[in-house]
């Protein structure tokens, strides 16, 4: 504390905090410089107006952003250094519940006896994203959907993957690597994928709809005959409608969203429920005559109820992927890489496919004899002719999220 | 008096009808605990397998334990803090009364999701900057719960405190009794129903809280409502109903046992539990 | 009144509890509530940056988020929510007040605690599980309601039932607590003097329980305004509460500034309601006395 230098920050805070503050400010500056080529003032970087401790608490969010920015800066340099480091003794996986076979964890423990594995759960990707953004989870592995990767990655919340620690990465199908939402698999590898399709009770609905356009056409005709359902969520309703209308679901153009709302508004009263939590069980009981669904659920619904036909749509539809990622502040990054590598083992990927019912991106797994029943099911192993027309919703900027959210609110306010 | 008897019968009828309303879903929960289907909402046949399955899921048992611990500590802390504040605020005309009361109301007015995220940011920052502050854990869940729980206690206890008249306290103070003695011998017995109502209510709200717990929890702490919500995506298993049923049976047995025991000893149950008149 | 005497009376021998009893809670609130609240307010006056990179929030004193709330879309949603919450509160009072009255007056004192426990025990079963149970009850398609030819699941009636059910203890317990030790001989005395039961209720019971009634209705109304799970599940997601919008903005669109601004406006609106309500109730009390 002799003379102020470049990386130092002066503000009203207890002296013992100073080194920490200085480090935060430097990291934030570096992150900002790395990403935008702009140099922030130290104060701005921390968002502190020199208001002392209350401001420190009050503007805590800025501190968290700054430290996470630091995470990005740190991770890009740390990525190369991970190889050769010793394996840590713990691993905390943060995932949807029932989305990972307990056998897989046992297998990993057998191969890495020194690592204690624990899995905890979230109920929605929104919850995951908000918790990662607010900080403090100490997770080593998370499973965000493809439309969270841009937000989490650009904000520096994700650890850059060290491919040297992921030899099994070579097992993945080329069409499920280097995807638009994460070029070069910088932050993510696909865990499993799916699409958003629909299903109907063929004893009620006599037409044989195969496209999203036909699905929407049938809603007004059959809404009086029973319950119709769409999945609650902005990407599913607004994104889904935009894809059906042939528009870019990640458009930054307000007019496109207005068009989607205009299309949906007269349909609103014919969509009886917006439910993504219990629709699957209700559909298995035959309570929904026409509904949107995630591919894995559709497979189960069709299996449980013989009156239901499932559809992997012809023409445009949404495809999605859930991904293995490592948070930037993961306390056990080496163990996390070992986990990712383990999951890309062909046999492990098959176990997982059998447990979750969702297709794996692992090329070698599909060649295994055990994968036959999945190969033959066109609701799971969607032919390339259809899949080629399916689009990812990526949500590349906050503006897209906001436009979509607002369009969704307008739709939901319509009855 | 004939009229009064009829009114009493009418009121009792209503009371019992409302109790039936409160227990209707509980009855359904219990029945569906014996559902053979993997998803709780589709009845496909009778099975008792979920009761063993429930105990083979240590996650559920741990979550339940954690929730009970948080709810109990929360109810104790909130009742003590809230009752003390209610006594001070109850009959004072201090200029602090209005801003403090406003603050208490404010805790109830803030939408839960917003204060939940803000609290998480605060806890993370507080721990990063002051090591003495607890890291995200069950302790931070408790700290967050006590905020709105104590507000509820203040509202309930103060309402009773202001409506019950202050002559007895005044007499006690006038006779030179110190506040602690006045409280124990005069105020507490008369406030007992309100304190107990506050305790029960805050225990219940905390035990069943989801949003605030999610955001103030660490990666490794999972409360019971969190466990239930997390399992919804792939359908809630009847094992959750089985645990709820067992809990209900244990509580009901406990209540029935206490009633039986006290009646046998010829005590007045209400007074024994409420601290006497 | 006695309260005034308490202040003006002999200093140093004040017949009331010392004010410092409130300080632990005040300190607790300053640390664990006011600080997060300050974060919320900071967000509400910030703006979102154009990219996810770096600091997603631009701090400062911008009022654009607040003014964006004053869009007819959001004002309508807030208005609707207040109306439904008011309706829900009235229904809760209608169901709960007679229950609390019965518990306090007609249940023998040895059974009172038992009945109180009976009222609260159902709420120790997880909220989500109870709500699923209500779906099974109200479903006209295979549910118990279907047996009676009713189909009210996913209508406003189901939402109302869910609201009353979920918030009943928040009303019943405070009201019971203030009715429980009421001096019923006052009521009997009034009747002996020729007052009708209604008049005795209005002149004696109501004024004496007003503080409890006040707390009870506020404890129901305020949280109901932020509710979003019940309309989502029992209304089939077709009823938009302001709580749904805040939830969506905050963790769906990750727009913390706008989510906070919307919350702040809602809080101010509710605060105004609460103040008006409390003032009018206290005024009546004064006239009544």
Confidence of residue C55 (pLDDT cuts 50, 70, 90): low
The Cα–Cα gap between C127 and C243 comes to: 17
- A321: CB partners within 8 A, 6+ apart: A145, A146, A176, A179, A190, A191, A192, A193, A194, A361, A392
Backbone angles phi, psi at A325, to 5 degrees: -135, 160
pLDDT at B219: 81
Residue with structure tokens 């559920």?
A: B60
pLDDT at A43: 33
In a domain, C31, yes or no: no
The whole-chain average pLDDT of chain A stands at: 84
The Cα–Cα gap between B25 and B30 comes to: 9
Average pLDDT over residues A133-157: 92
Confidence of residue B254 (pLDDT cuts 50, 70, 90): confident
Name the residue in chain C with its Cα closest to that of A269: C238
In a domain, C38, yes or no: no
In a domain, C217, yes or no: yes
Confidence of residue A207 (pLDDT cuts 50, 70, 90): very high
pLDDT at C284: 60
Return the H-helix or E-strand segment holding C60.
Answer: none
> How remote is the C-alpha of A311 from its chain's centroid?
23
Q: How far is A255 from chain C (nearest CA, A)?
A: 18
Task: Note down the domain range covering C198.
Answer: 56-287
Do B183 and C17 make contact, defined as CB atoms within 8 angstroms?
A: yes
The Cα–Cα gap between A94 and A89 comes to: 17
pLDDT tens-digit map of C153-212: 999 999 999 999 999 999 999 999 888 877 788 888 888 888 888 888 888 888 888 888
CATH number at residue C229: 1.10.3720.10
Confidence of residue C250 (pLDDT cuts 50, 70, 90): confident
Q: Is A387 exposed, middle or buried (0-12, 13-18, 19+ CB in 10 A)?
A: middle
pLDDT tens-digit map of A61-99: 333 333 333 333 334 444 557 878 899 999 999 999 889
pLDDT at A36: 38
Percent of chain A predicted with pLDDT > 70: 81
The Cα–Cα gap between A233 and A136 comes to: 26
pLDDT above 70 for A31: no
Confidence of residue C133 (pLDDT cuts 50, 70, 90): very high
Do A57 and C57 make contact, defined as CB atoms within 8 angstroms?
A: no
pLDDT at A1: 38
pLDDT at A70: 35
The Cα–Cα gap between C120 and B27 comes to: 15
pLDDT at A219: 97
Residue with structure tokens 């009050």?
A: A58
pLDDT tens-digit map of A179-193: 999 999 999 999 999
Average pLDDT over residues B235-248: 88
The Cα–Cα gap between B48 and B42 comes to: 15
pLDDT at C85: 94
In a domain, C209, yes or no: yes
Q: Choose among A126, A160, A120, A162: nearest CA to A144.
A: A126
pLDDT tens-digit map of C5-33: 444 433 334 557 888 889 999 999 999 99
Number of structural domains chain C divides into = 1
pLDDT above 80 for B109: yes
Confidence of residue A33 (pLDDT cuts 50, 70, 90): very low
In a domain, C2, yes or no: no
Q: Choose among C25, A65, C259: nearest CA to B125.
A: A65
Contact by Cβ (8 Å): C230, C159 = yes
Which residues in chain C are closer than 8 Å to A406, comparing Cβ atoms? 73
pLDDT tens-digit map of A284-322: 999 999 999 999 999 999 999 999 999 999 999 999 999
- A306: CB partners within 8 A, 6+ apart: none
- A344-358, B89-103, B105-119, C227-241, range with greatest mean pLDDT: A344-358
| Chain C residues bordering chain A (beta-carbon distance below 8 Å) | 35, 38-39, 41-43, 48-57, 59, 73, 76-77, 132, 135, 139, 141-142, 154, 232-233, 236-238, 240, 244-245, 248-256, 258
Do B26 and C122 make contact, defined as CB atoms within 8 angstroms?
A: yes
Percent of chain A predicted with pLDDT > 90: 74
Name the residue in chain B with its Cα closest to that of A99: B234
The Cα–Cα gap between C158 and C181 comes to: 36
The Cα–Cα gap between B14 and C172 comes to: 14
SS3 content of chain A, % helix, strand, coil (to 5): 50, 15, 35
Asked if A59 has any chain C CB less than 8 Å from its own CB, the reply is yes
Q: How many CA atoms lie within 13 A of A321 on its CB side?
A: 24
Neighbours of chain B (3+ CB pairs under 8 A): A, C
Average pLDDT over residues C213-221: 90
In a domain, C229, yes or no: yes
ipTM: 0.88
Residue C12 CB neighbours (<10 A)? 4
Structural domains for chain A: 68-415 (3.40.190.10)
Q: Please count the residue pairs, one from chain B and one from chain C, whose beta carbons lie less than 8 angstroms apart.
A: 323
Span of A86-95, A157-166, A360-369, C54-63 with lowest mean pLDDT: C54-63
pLDDT tens-digit map of A220-272: 999 999 999 999 999 999 999 999 999 999 999 999 999 999 999 999 999 99
Interface test with A, best of B210, B219, B232, B238 (most A CBs within 10 A): B219
Which residues in chain A are closer than 8 Å to C252, comparing Cβ atoms? 126, 233-234, 401, 405
In a domain, C48, yes or no: no
CA-CA-CA-CA dihedral for A383, A389, A395, A400, to nearest 10: -150
Do C141 and A287 make contact, defined as CB atoms within 8 angstroms?
A: yes
Span of A68-72, A318-322, B52-56, C69-73 with lowest mean pLDDT: A68-72
Interface test with C, best of A27, A54, A409, A414 (most C CBs within 10 A): A409
pLDDT at A38: 37
pLDDT tens-digit map of A95-116: 998 899 999 999 999 999 999 9
Q: What tokens appear for B259 in the block?
A: 């009633």
């Amino acid at each position: 504390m002799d003379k102020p230098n470049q990386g130092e920050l002066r503000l009203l805070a207890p002296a013992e905090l100073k080194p920490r503050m200085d480090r935060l400010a430097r990291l934030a500056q570096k992150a900002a410089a790395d990403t935008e080529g702009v140099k922030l003032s130290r104060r701005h970087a921390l968002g502190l107006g020199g208001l002392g401790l209350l401001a420190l608490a009050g503007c805590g969010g800025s501190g968290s952003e700054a430290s996470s920015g630091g995470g990005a800066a740190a991770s890009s340099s740390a990525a190369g250094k991970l190889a050769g480091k010793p394996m840590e003794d713990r691993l905390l996986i943060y995932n949807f519940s029932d989305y990972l076979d307990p056998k897989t964890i046992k297998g990993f423990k057998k191969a890495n006896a020194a690592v204690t594995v624990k899995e905890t759960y979230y109920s929605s990707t929104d919850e995951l994203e908000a918790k990662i953004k607010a900080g403090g989870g100490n997770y080593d592995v998370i499973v965000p959907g493809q439309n969270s990767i841009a937000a989490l990655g650009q904000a520096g919340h994700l650890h850059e993957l060290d491919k040297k620690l992921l030899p099994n990465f070579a097992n993945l199908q080329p069409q499920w690597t280097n995807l638009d939402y994460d070029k070069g698999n910088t932050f993510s590898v696909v865990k499993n994928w799916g699409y958003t399709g629909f299903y109907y009770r063929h004893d009620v609905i006599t037409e044989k709809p195969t496209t999203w356009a036909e699905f929407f056409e049938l809603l007004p005709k059959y809404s009086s005959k029973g319950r119709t359902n769409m999945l609650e969520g902005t990407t599913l309703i607004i994104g889904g409608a935009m894809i059906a209308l042939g528009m870019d679901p990640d458009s930054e153009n307000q007019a496109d969203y207005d068009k989607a709302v205009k299309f949906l508004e007269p349909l609103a009263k014919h969509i009886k429920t917006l439910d993504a939590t219990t629709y699957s069980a209700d559909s298995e009981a035959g309570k929904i005559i026409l509904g949107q669904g995630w591919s894995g659920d559709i497979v189960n619904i069709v299996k449980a109820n013989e009156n239901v036909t499932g559809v992997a749509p012809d023409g445009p539809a949404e495809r999605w992927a859930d991904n293995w990622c490592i948070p930037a502040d993961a306390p056990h990054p080496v163990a996390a890489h070992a986990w990712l590598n383990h999951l890309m083992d062909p046999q492990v990927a098959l176990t997982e496919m059998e447990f979750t019912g969702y297709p794996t991106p692992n090329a070698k797994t599909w060649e295994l004899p055990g994968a036959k029943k999945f190969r033959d099911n066109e609701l799971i192993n969607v032919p390339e002719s259809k899949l080629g027309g399916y689009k990812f919703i990526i949500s590349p900027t906050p503006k897209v999220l906001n436009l979509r959210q607002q369009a969704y609110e307008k739709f939901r306010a319509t009855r | 008096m004939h009229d009064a008897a009829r009114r009493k019968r009418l009121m009792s009828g209503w009371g019992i009808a409302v109790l039936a309303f409160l227990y209707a879903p509980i009855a359904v929960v219990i029945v569906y605990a014996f559902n053979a289907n993997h998803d709780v909402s589709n009845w496909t046949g009778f099975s008792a397998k979920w009761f063993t399955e429930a105990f083979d899921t240590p996650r559920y048992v741990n979550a339940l334990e954690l929730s009970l611990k948080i709810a109990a500590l929360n109810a104790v802390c909130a009742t003590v803090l809230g009752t003390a504040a209610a006594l001070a605020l109850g009959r004072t005309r201090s200029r602090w009364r209005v801003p403090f009361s406003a603050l208490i109301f404010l805790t109830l007015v803030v939408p839960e999701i917003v204060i939940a995220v803000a609290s998480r940011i605060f806890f993370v920052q507080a721990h990063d900057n002051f090591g003495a502050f607890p890291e995200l854990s069950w302790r931070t869940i408790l700290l967050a719960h006590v905020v709105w729980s104590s507000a509820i206690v203040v509202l309930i206890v103060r309402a009773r405190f202001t409506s019950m008249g202050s002559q007895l306290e005044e007499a006690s103070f006038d006779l030179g009794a110190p506040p602690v003695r006045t409280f124990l011998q005069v105020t507490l017995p008369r406030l007992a129903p309100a304190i107990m109502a506050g305790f029960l209510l805050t225990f219940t709200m905390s035990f069943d809280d989801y949003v605030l717990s999610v955001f103030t929890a660490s990666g490794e702490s999972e409360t019971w409502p969190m466990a239930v919500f997390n399992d919804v995506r792939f359908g809630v298993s009847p094992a959750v109903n089985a645990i709820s049923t067992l809990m209900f049976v244990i509580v009901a047995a406990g209540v029935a046992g206490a009633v039986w025991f006290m009646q046998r000893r010829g005590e007045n149950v209400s007074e024994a539990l409420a601290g006497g008149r | 009144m006695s309260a005034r005497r308490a202040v003006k009376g002999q200093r140093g021998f004040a017949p009331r509890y010392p004010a410092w009893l409130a300080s632990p809670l005040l300190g607790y609130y300053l640390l664990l509530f006011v600080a997060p609240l300050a974060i919320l307010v900071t967000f509400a006056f910030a703006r979102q940056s154009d990219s996810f990179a770096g600091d997603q929030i631009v701090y400062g004193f911008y009022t654009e988020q607040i003014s964006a709330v004053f869009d007819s879309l959001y004002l309508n949603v807030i208005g609707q929510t207040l109306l439904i919450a008011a309706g829900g509160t009235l229904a809760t009072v209608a169901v709960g007040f007679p229950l609390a009255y019965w518990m306090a007056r007609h249940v023998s004192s040895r059974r009172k605690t038992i009945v109180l426990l009976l009222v609260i025990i159902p709420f120790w079963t997880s909220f989500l599980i109870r709500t699923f149970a209500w779906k099974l009850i109200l479903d006209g398609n295979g549910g118990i309601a279907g047996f009676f030819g009713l189909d009210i699941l996913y209508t406003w009636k189901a939402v109302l039932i869910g609201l009353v059910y979920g918030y009943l203890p928040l009303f019943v317990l405070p009201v019971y607590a203030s009715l429980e030790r009421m001096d019923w001989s006052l009521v009997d005395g009034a009747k002996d003097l020729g007052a009708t039961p209604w008049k005795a209720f209005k002149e004696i019971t109501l004024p004496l329980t007003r503080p409890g009634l006040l707390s009870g209705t506020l404890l129901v109304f305020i949280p109901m305004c932020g509710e979003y799970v019940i309309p989502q599940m029992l209304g089939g997601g077709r009823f938009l509460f302001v709580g749904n919008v805040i939830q969506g903005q905050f963790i769906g669109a990750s727009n913390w500034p706008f989510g906070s601004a919307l919350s702040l406006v809602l809080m101010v609106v509710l605060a105004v309601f609460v103040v008006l309500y409390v003032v009018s109730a206290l005024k009546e009390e004064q006239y009544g006395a």
